[in-house]
Structure 1
Amino acid sequence: MSFDLDTKAICSELESSEHRKRSATLLKLREQCEQAPQTVSSDAIAADFDELYLHLLKCYDDRFESVRDRAVLAVSAFLKRLPPSDFHLLNVVSTLAERMGQVETVEPSEEIRLLYVEQLHLMLRQYAQMGNVGVFRECYAQVMKVLVKAIKDDYAAVQREACATVVQLARVADTHELQPFTESLVVSLYGMLNHRHSAARISALEALGRVCLHMDASGESMRRFFMEVSPLLMDSMPLVRRECGQVGVLLLLELRDRYSFFERILPLVLCCLKDDSPEVLSFIQPLWVKCGEQFYDENEAELSQQEICDPQVENYPAGVKRPTIGCRGLVQRSLRLLTLITRETSDWKDNVRLHALKLLYQFVLHAEAAMTAKFFEIYGQVAHACCDREPVVSAEAKKVADLLGRVLAFNAWIEHGFDGLERNARESFLKCFYYMFTAALGGTYDHLMRLCKLLKSSDYSHTLKPGFQLYILKMLETVLDKSSKVTASMEQLRDLYELIYVTAMKVMSLSYALAGDVNADVERGQVILKRIVALEEITLSQLHERWFHLALLDVENLDAALDENAEPVLMLYGLIHLGCIRSTYLPQLIEKVKLVFGHCSDSAQVRIFSILSIAALDWGRTVCVEREQSTQLLSEFITAIVEPYLAWKAGASGEAMRSMAMATLCALAQGAREEAREVLPTLAKHMPSLLEDRNVTTRHYAIKAMCYFQGMSVEAFKPLAYATMQRMDDPSAGIRVIAATAVGKMRPVFKEEAAAEEGEREHEREVWEAFVKRAMDLLLLYHESPEKEMKAAAQKSLTELAKSHPEAWEERYKRALSMAQSKDELTNLYSKMSIKDEAEADVKD
């Protein structure tokens, strides 16, 4: 039974010279074949096709594209209804090979080339469904020519269809028959792995995975396969990365020689388990579990025993699900892969380093304690990665180090960890050790002491690198945390806290000196000190008094020509700021400062003097001893540090040191008011020259210090008083204002009547009265000044002098009133200073 085909007429029309007739005939033939009822037997269709196929296949070479297109579609319509036949298969494949399998492109139309490949795919599906794919063995060579050509096609749709055909063929083909052709297939597929379309890359990966199952595993083919596929694990498209993982799963489940290639296959899957895209992770995770189940079934006797004696560690990473015993076993038998992974952590490409570290994380997560023996092989690389220039890479390295500390056997790696710190005093090793040690549960008192001694050494605590300093402080925090969990006596813990204090102080001092201000590292260090204070149940001042001298001892090599940025100078600078001046270590501090003044550069001397002047302001708060002892210490400090530099010396250096010495003296006068009353008079001989110094800063501090000179006799005070009064004519407006203020505060000490000889006391009063009158004249003159600050200072001092010397004020007022330009202002000033107010003020004083 036929389906009303006039085969002779159709053949005649297909041989017509008019292409429109040929095209119309092919279209009609296709429609008839597709619309034929299912009751029509396949033998009847085959009988008609036997008469038509030569004419149809001839149309594949027609010069008109529409004819070729409809001829392919018509043949495909017949093939869908035909029973499997070697005869038809060979003829169609041969025609396709002629049109599609040549070295040069015979078919110019990319759409028709796609139809050719689709037709080949159709035949393969038809024969596969009937279990008769073996008939392809006679034409494998021609099929491969078509597929290889299609894979290299310029049209992406043709390439993708060719890959799908390869996948179908690999699913059903016999390995022995397909293996001779796998090399040519995979080589052509490798070219698609760099295709600009992600869909093409995915298709190529799928095809490669299937073809790989039939490859000869003894040669270099498999090695190249992994080399070509691995870069796509870093592809920008998540679906491409997911396909890489799927290929890895396929090989783990179905590759016959998979046990020999676990080390190469595992990265394809493990990288997807740490992928940034949830889509990739959620797809690969269950497939990976399936791989683990299969491995467990194949090695149940061994893994069942391991599972019993391998419980999960207490400090397992939060939010991370432990891999199954089968998955762990897969990785644990592939420890040699570590060498390859760690080598890539130092690659010049950022994405390669990141990819390698993510893979290493998964490897550690699965291998757990089994890789403890391999720690020495990866310690250096992980440490180096912790200081990577790319933040995302260094962050991943820190996660790896944290995981290592959690899952590795503590007692097995700690010695090697310490050995790395001792041999490599670098930030990288300290960071790696910090994350491991902090995450680990272990750590004895001996470990903590050994670590603190190491951190206290100059190789660590004397570093000038901010990042290095930060991790030293972080490590000290970890030591404090672990100290509460170790078995040790109070004395032993005190020794530990001592090392922590000294290390923290040195690091904080350098950090402060480098930054020039209190920064995050200094604040972190202060928190450490507060923790020690709480543990020792003392105050911070007592803590400094107890151990600060130990930090001073570590400031070495000051007897060299060091500049202001040298490490010893910076450390001393920072320590003085942090610890200030205290009685317990003042002698040691003086010796260190004298070394700087005696050997270091001018800039270094000025820098240390500047921080001393700041610390001197807090003398009254930090030097917590009896008044007499404090006065003695102040005298010793001034004699050793300040006074030698008050005397005039030529040169810029001498000028700078005089300024700083005067600043320090002024600060001491403010910080130790009571003690300064007894000590300052001994320096009176230096003040006249300092008040007239060429440097405005020196004059500024000198005139400011004059406000604190008290308890001197008239004879000793007279030169200072007149020198101060002369500063009211200073070129600097600020100094003029301070001088006007200081004049009003000067109070000499007159001899007592019992001790004074006849006329001496009266002479002293006359001498001082003369100074007061001269001062009042100048102040009255400046009271008319247009400078507001100067006018206010003059008025304030006049008020003070008028209260203590009312007769002199009356006399100078009357004298000035006759010469004043603004008599009203002077009159108003006089009216404010009534005798009643003066008397009340005297009573209060």
Structure 2
Amino acid sequence: MSFEIDAQQICEQLEGTDRRQKTKVLEELRNLCRNAPENMSTEKMAESFDQLYLHLLKSYDDRFESVRDHAVQAVNAFLERLPPMDFHLLNVVSTLAERMGKAETVEPSEEIRLLYIGQLNLMVRQYAKMGNVGVFRECYPQVVKILIKSIKDDYPLVQREGCSTLVNLSRVADTQELRPFTESLQAALYGMLNHKHAQARISAIEAIGRLSLHMDASGEAMKRLFNEVSPLLMDTMPLVRREVGQMGILMLMELLDRYSFFERILPLVLCCLKDESPEVLSHIYPQWLKCGKLYFEENEAELCQQEISDLPVENYPKDVKRPTIGCRGLVQRSLRLLKLITRETSDWKDNVRLHALKLLYQFVLHAEAAMTAKFFEIYGDLAHACIDPVAEVNAEAAKVADLMGRLLSYDAWIDHGFDGLERNARESYMRCFYHMFTSSLGGSYDQMMKLAKLLRSTDYSHTLKPGFQLYILKLLDTILDKSLKINAGQEELQDLYEAVYVSAVKVMALSYSLSGNLINEGKMLIDKIVKFEQISEAKLHERWFPLALKDVENLDAALEDNAEPVLLLDGLINICLIRATYIVDLMEKVKLVFEHCCDSAQVKVFSSLSVATLYWSKTMDIERERSTQMLSEFISQIVEPYLTWKAGSNAEAMRSLAMATLCALAQGAESEAMEVLPSLAKHMPSLLEDRNVTTRHYAIKAVIYFREMSVEDLKPLGYATMQRMDDPSAGIRILAALAVGKLKPKFSDSEKEAEHEKEVWDAFVKRAMDLLLLYHESPEKDIKAAVEVTLKVLAKSHPEAWEERYQRALAMVHKKEQLDELYKKLTIKDGPESEANTS
């Protein structure tokens, strides 16, 4: 197709008022240009454009949108085929500036504005391709106005096209020529960084990155650039975060003054290396390696020497690829940024804190031992992050601390780590230190002994915070594990295990009194020590528990039940129970509580003692005679003072617990109790009639353990027990009915005295039978069953009395059939056998 046009006719038609005619002419002109032969000389086309351009550009201001549309496309068709000329460029740019470069919006159509900025983009690409971009220098002010207007446009497609145009211009522009306009362009681009469309934000970041290569590095503009772009590292869209990383890569590779800005550029890239999205990491990581390679080539002499001795540590984290020497070198020269990063770990926004910690992880991974000198600066901030209320944030802080323990020089940081623990007895420092110390390879005997003693101190092992308690136990576990790898003698290790044991038992005790959540963790620690010391757990408690008990102090005050000394003592009693090696010391502590502490504290400790005494025979582990002596002392000092009646609600509660303890001792030390309990029989009648139902309940349960007593001593106890069959509590009535049949006196060796005692006891048995027969008519099934059990025992041991009481009851009973049935069931017909049983 030949390129033949009548320029004069086209101009006349474009000056007309007929919209259809103008659009038709413009469309034909565009098609003619586009379909012109490739090998056609551009001179003829240029000649035609020279004749038409005024009318074409004038059509940009036509009142009809379709005419403006076709005019722009026709000019585009010419520009695509014409060689770059200052004359053409200036004319088109001037027209575009009139339509798009003013403060007010002249062009109302969004689609046409998109065509305008697209035309400018076309010229930039065409002139760059032909190597003649320098022609733009004369019209930069107008071009910049057009670009700023497009970037601030309400239409997202116009904004993105404006960014694309700026990117293309920045790729080929001369820095000295473009630099005067960079700040105004950047300011416009910053407004797009919060655009609701992710693609618009991506376009803006790309444009900012390209434009940054032409900026003046000495001013505040670069500082503002990083402040504006950095928040997008936390953008919800992965592609936006990736573009920020790409911008960082571009600056690391091409920014002329990049060495001065490594500290600000690196976060843009390093954050992407820890991004949760694979598409971000897979795109940025290979380019990061290129940055490292470039830095290595530029500093080869220095880094080659470092690489020879720079071997990875033995405990390098698994599944983590070590950065190249160039990448590490890039970060190691930029450690001044650490303080700024760690400051953001305490930001009020959750995502900012998480982002800062992920960045810090990358800094540690790349800086390795070179970062040791900065540990004291970031210790406090990292420790605080370890107890962040957001689980994801404190988990990331724990990863950072773990990595620091592996990569930092142990001998250089450990003393400062100890200093932080000593100065700040808080969970935050404890967690941070735990993760570092556990992951490190270091740890001498002296250091572990120092740590164990520190954890044993009241500032640590007496804490009431569950989280703090957990990490104390975890750190103690680490000490035990590391103790297997140190060079220490048996006595030294025993001292170490002693400190660990005391700390662990105290933490377990407090945890037990508060919630009991950490008992299993503490039990595993004790099991390890048992294994290392090759003794039983009981022997371990007997050996070292007194040391823990010694640390229970300040009981001589009006403490409530939730006070730390009371909770500690209560927990120790529950965990380790009562043993011969420390029962005397334990009693002294308990007596202090009973003498000085508040009612609630007294009740709490006494309650735990009553439970512990159930295991007396299992835990005392001493000969019978000594055990009986200790039981007697325990009862006389701890229990008996509270068996006598005193007025007041606390006295009532203590009386009830004393009775519960006595009942527990009777079961837990049954053989020893047979010798000790008779001396307490004098208290039992009043206890069996106590106003408190709990006291009566424990008293009636304890009655059956009063054995080997004379008739004179047992008789008051027996009648008091019998009276409980009339108790308001059904449970006590049943227990009383059963207890009556189990009371057995020890008759005198003297035949005359024995005969008198049997008469006295027979009178008691007859009275008991009368009462039991009366209760047998009760509608309560349980009481009837208990009565039958006891009557069977008494009928067997006292057949004559049974026959007599049956006959007596037969005359008075209402339900004779029921009594006859009971009589047949219980009566023993074999007389001689009865007599033998009676004797």
Distance (whole Å) between structure 2 residues aligned to residue 737 and residue 834 of structure 1: 23
Is residue 374 from structure 1 mapped to residue 374 from structure 2 by the alignment?
yes
Q: Deviations over 1:253-291 (max 9, x none)?
A: 000000000000000001111111111111111010000
Distance (whole Å) between structure 2 residues aligned to residue 792 and residue 732 of structure 1: 16
Amino acid across the alignment from 1:127: Y
- 1:538 pairs with one of 535, 539, 558: 535
Q: Which residue of 2 aligns with 1:670?
A: 667
Amino acid across the alignment from 2:453: K
Deviation at 1:641, TM superposition (A): 0.2
Moved over 4 A (4+): 836-845
- Compare 3-12 and 149-158 and name the one that shifted more: 3-12
Q: Which residue of 2 aligns with 1:685?
A: 682
Q: Which residue of 1 aligns with 2:87?
A: 87
Q: Which residue of 2 aligns with 1:340?
A: 340
Deviation at 1:824, TM superposition (A): 3.1
- 2:615 pairs with one of 614, 618, 639: 618
Distance (whole Å) between structure 1 residues aligned to residue 673 and residue 814 of structure 2: 42
Task: Check whether the contact 2:799–2:827 (CA below 8 A) recurs between aligned residues.
Answer: no
Amino acid across the alignment from 1:796: V
Identity over aligned pairs, percent: 70
Distance (whole Å) between structure 2 residues aligned to residue 341 and residue 403 of structure 1: 17
Q: Which residue of 2 aligns with 1:802?
A: 795
Deviation at 1:2, TM superposition (A): 5.7
Task: Check whether the contact 1:57–1:71 (CA below 8 A) recurs between aligned residues.
Answer: yes
Q: Which residue of 2 aligns with 1:574?
A: 571
Task: Check whether the contact 1:2–1:45 (CA below 8 A) recurs between aligned residues.
Answer: no
Amino acid across the alignment from 1:660: L
Q: Which residue of 1 aligns with 2:283?
A: 283
Is residue 711 from structure 1 mapped to residue 704 from structure 2 by the alignment?
no
Is residue 650 from structure 1 mapped to residue 647 from structure 2 by the alignment?
yes
Distance (whole Å) between structure 2 residues aligned to residue 823 and residue 622 of structure 1: 54
Distance (whole Å) between structure 1 residues aligned to residue 836 and residue 729 of structure 2: 34
Task: Check whether the contact 2:313–2:406 (CA below 8 A) recurs between aligned residues.
Answer: yes
Task: Check whether the contact 1:562–1:569 (CA below 8 A) recurs between aligned residues.
Answer: yes
Distance (whole Å) between structure 1 residues aligned to residue 252 and residue 658 of structure 2: 79
Q: How does 1:119-138 map to 2 (within 5 A)?
A: 119-138=119-138
Is residue 813 from structure 1 mapped to residue 806 from structure 2 by the alignment?
yes
Deviation at 1:822, TM superposition (A): 2.9
Q: How does 1:218-617 map to 2 (within 5 A)?
A: 218-515=218-515, 518-519=516-517, 521-617=518-614
Q: How does 1:828-839 map to 2 (within 5 A)?
A: 828-835=821-828, 839=833
Q: Which residue of 1 aligns with 2:51?
A: 51
Deviation at 1:669, TM superposition (A): 0.7
Amino acid across the alignment from 2:563: A
Amino acid across the alignment from 1:324: T
Deviation at 1:465, TM superposition (A): 0.1
Amino acid across the alignment from 1:388: D
Distance (whole Å) between structure 1 residues aligned to residue 830 and residue 231 of structure 2: 94
Deviation at 1:828, TM superposition (A): 2.8
- 1:749 pairs with one of 735, 746, 749: 746
Amino acid across the alignment from 1:657: M
Distance (whole Å) between structure 1 residues aligned to residue 797 and residue 686 of structure 2: 29
Distance (whole Å) between structure 1 residues aligned to residue 318 and residue 406 of structure 2: 11
Distance (whole Å) between structure 2 residues aligned to residue 401 and residue 837 of structure 1: 86
Q: Deviations over 1:652-687 (max 9, x none)?
A: 111111011111111111111111111111011111
Q: Rate the CA distance shift 1:714–1:77 in 2: closer, same or farther, 3 A.
A: same
- Compare 4-13 and 256-265 and name the one that shifted more: 4-13
Task: Check whether the contact 1:410–1:440 (CA below 8 A) recurs between aligned residues.
Answer: yes
Output the aligned Cα RMSD: 1.5
Distance (whole Å) between structure 2 residues aligned to residue 374 and residue 409 of structure 1: 11
Distance (whole Å) between structure 1 residues aligned to residue 742 and residue 730 of structure 2: 19
Task: Check whether the contact 2:797–2:838 (CA below 8 A) recurs between aligned residues.
Answer: no
Distance (whole Å) between structure 2 residues aligned to residue 531 and residue 152 of structure 1: 69
Q: Which residue of 2 aligns with 1:197?
A: 197
Q: Which residue of 2 aligns with 1:761?
A: 754
Task: Check whether the contact 2:364–2:404 (CA below 8 A) recurs between aligned residues.
Answer: yes
Amino acid across the alignment from 2:380: G
Amino acid across the alignment from 2:566: V
Q: Deviations over 1:56-88 (max 9, x none)?
A: 100000011111011101110111111111111
Aligned length: 838
Q: Deviations over 1:715-764 (max 9, x none)?
A: 011111001100100111111111111101000110013xx5x4x22211
Deviation at 1:831, TM superposition (A): 2.5
Deviation at 1:783, TM superposition (A): 1.5
Deviation at 1:7, TM superposition (A): 1.4
Distance (whole Å) between structure 1 residues aligned to residue 773 and residue 287 of structure 2: 98
Deviation at 1:395, TM superposition (A): 0.5
Deviation at 1:837, TM superposition (A): 8.7
Distance (whole Å) between structure 2 residues aligned to residue 197 and residue 447 of structure 1: 57
Q: How does 1:177-192 map to 2 (within 5 A)?
A: 177-192=177-192
Amino acid across the alignment from 2:141: A
Q: Which residue of 2 aligns with 1:773?
A: 766
Task: Check whether the contact 1:803–1:841 (CA below 8 A) recurs between aligned residues.
Answer: no
Q: Deviations over 1:524-581 (max 9, x none)?
A: 1011111111111111111111111111000000001100000000000000000111
Amino acid across the alignment from 1:673: E
Task: Check whether the contact 2:796–2:834 (CA below 8 A) recurs between aligned residues.
Answer: no
Distance (whole Å) between structure 1 residues aligned to residue 181 and residue 830 of structure 2: 118
Q: Rate the CA distance shift 1:454–1:104 in 2: closer, same or farther, 3 A.
A: same
Distance (whole Å) between structure 1 residues aligned to residue 314 and residue 218 of structure 2: 44
Distance (whole Å) between structure 2 residues aligned to residue 445 and residue 300 of structure 1: 42
Distance (whole Å) between structure 2 residues aligned to residue 42 and residue 836 of structure 1: 142
Instruction: Report the 3-state secondary structure (helix = DSSP H, G, I; strand = E; otherwise coil) of the residue aligned with 2:558.
Output: coil
Deviation at 1:842, TM superposition (A): 7.8
Deviation at 1:4, TM superposition (A): 2.0
Unaligned stretches of 5+ residues in structure 2: none
Instruction: Report the 3-state secondary structure (helix = DSSP H, G, I; strand = E; otherwise coil) of the residue aligned with 1:80.
Output: helix
Instruction: Report the 3-state secondary structure (helix = DSSP H, G, I; strand = E; otherwise coil) of the residue aligned with 1:345.
Output: helix
Distance (whole Å) between structure 2 residues aligned to residue 272 and residue 802 of structure 1: 91
Q: Deviations over 1:491-533 (max 9, x none)?
A: 1111111111111110000001011xx42x1111011111111
Distance (whole Å) between structure 2 residues aligned to residue 822 and residue 622 of structure 1: 53
Distance (whole Å) between structure 2 residues aligned to residue 719 and residue 465 of structure 1: 52
Q: Deviations over 1:103-143 (max 9, x none)?
A: 10000000000000000000111111110111111111111
Task: Check whether the contact 1:562–1:601 (CA below 8 A) recurs between aligned residues.
Answer: yes
Q: Rate the CA distance shift 1:841–1:239 in 2: closer, same or farther, 3 A.
A: farther
Deviation at 1:841, TM superposition (A): 13
Q: Deviations over 1:560-616 (max 9, x none)?
A: 110000000000000000011111110000000000000000110011000000111
Instruction: Report the 3-state secondary structure (helix = DSSP H, G, I; strand = E; otherwise coil) of the residue aligned with 1:154.
Output: coil
Amino acid across the alignment from 1:163: C
Task: Check whether the contact 1:2–1:44 (CA below 8 A) recurs between aligned residues.
Answer: no
Q: How does 1:44-123 map to 2 (within 5 A)?
A: 44-123=44-123
Deviation at 1:350, TM superposition (A): 1.2
Q: Deviations over 1:798-826 (max 9, x none)?
A: 11111211111111122223333333333
Distance (whole Å) between structure 2 residues aligned to residue 229 and residue 446 of structure 1: 50
Q: Which residue of 2 aligns with 1:176?
A: 176
Amino acid across the alignment from 1:524: E
- Compare 825-834 and 503-512 and name the one that shifted more: 825-834
Distance (whole Å) between structure 2 residues aligned to residue 493 and residue 832 of structure 1: 70
